[in-house]
Amino acid sequence: MKSKIKEICKALEKEKGIKILFAVENGSRAWRMESADSDYDVRFVFARPVEDYIRINKPAEVIDAFFDKEGKPCPAEGAFIDMSGFDIFKYIKMLSSSNPTTIEWIMTDIVYYGEQNKVFKKFALENFNKISLYHHYKSMCRNNYLKYLKSGNLVTYKKYLYAYRGLINAKWVANKGTVPPIIFTDALKGMGGIIPAGIIKKINEIIKLKSSGKEKDIIQSIVMMDEYIEKFLKDDSDAPKEKSHSTLNELDKELKKIVLGK
């Protein structure tokens, strides 16, 4: 599949008149939580010729494309390869504000095309805003919990994992003070003594169920899991307090280098 995604990236470059800097996995496969029928969530960062940036009508900052198992274009619904890319300016701005999505793109170890930028990665690791990242991940937990689990609209193992990934990563930032591991089981292993053992055990059980193809099974709410999320959402006592004082000089220099070629 990697070779197929690589060919898709080359075709997109030609069709859209862009240069893809890197394309990576940023879904369940990157987190090592995929099931047998999981699709591919490919995320990429692209740059345009400098002339495209000095126009009244700016070109699109986001490019989405969808493909089937054969690598042929198809509708978004039911696509096996989901491609979504950010223009370099949009990506840098989000990275500078410690948006977790853009940090994960630069940290994941599954790279399909190009090469992750070392300056971006260094910035993400050394200059991320702990307060911002903590609340971003907490918001992920809250949104998944309220929309799917508490509402009872779609209670599945997958939604529990998505809610708890936000919770675990927020707890990691608060207690470890570093960027959470992309691989979810690695983050879980580091939560001993921070997250109740019973919760960690249940999450690991759900990961196994997901890998066996039961991720979308409609299930009853898991009271113990719900109660722990509720407690987490109501309590900000462990939220980071120190503010980030990073400068954007290195990112600005790298941005100019990429766009202007110098």
In a domain, 207, yes or no: yes
Span 192-245, pLDDT tens digits: 999 999 999 999 988 888 777 666 667 777 899 999 999 999 998 988 987 766
pLDDT of residue 66: 96
Span 159-168, pLDDT tens digits: 889 999 999 9
CB 180 within 8 A of CB 108: no
Same domain, 67 and 122: yes
- Looking at the 3D structure of the chain, how many domains does it have? 2
Same domain, 96 and 23: yes
Same domain, 115 and 193: no
pTM: 0.89
Same domain, 8 and 120: yes
Same domain, 118 and 8: yes
Spell out a b/e string for 178-204, using b for 16 or more CB atoms within 10 Å of the CB, else e.
ebbbbebeebbebbeeebeeebbebbe
Q: For residues 50 and 123, what is the distance between their CA atoms, to the nearest angstrom?
A: 24
Say which CATH number the domain at 32 has. 3.30.460
Query: Is the pLDDT reported for residue 43 higher than 80?
Result: yes
Q: What is the arithmetic mean of pLDDT over 43-56?
A: 94
Same domain, 16 and 109: yes
Residue 54: give the domain boundaries. 2-128+246-260
In a domain, 240, yes or no: no
Same domain, 14 and 84: yes
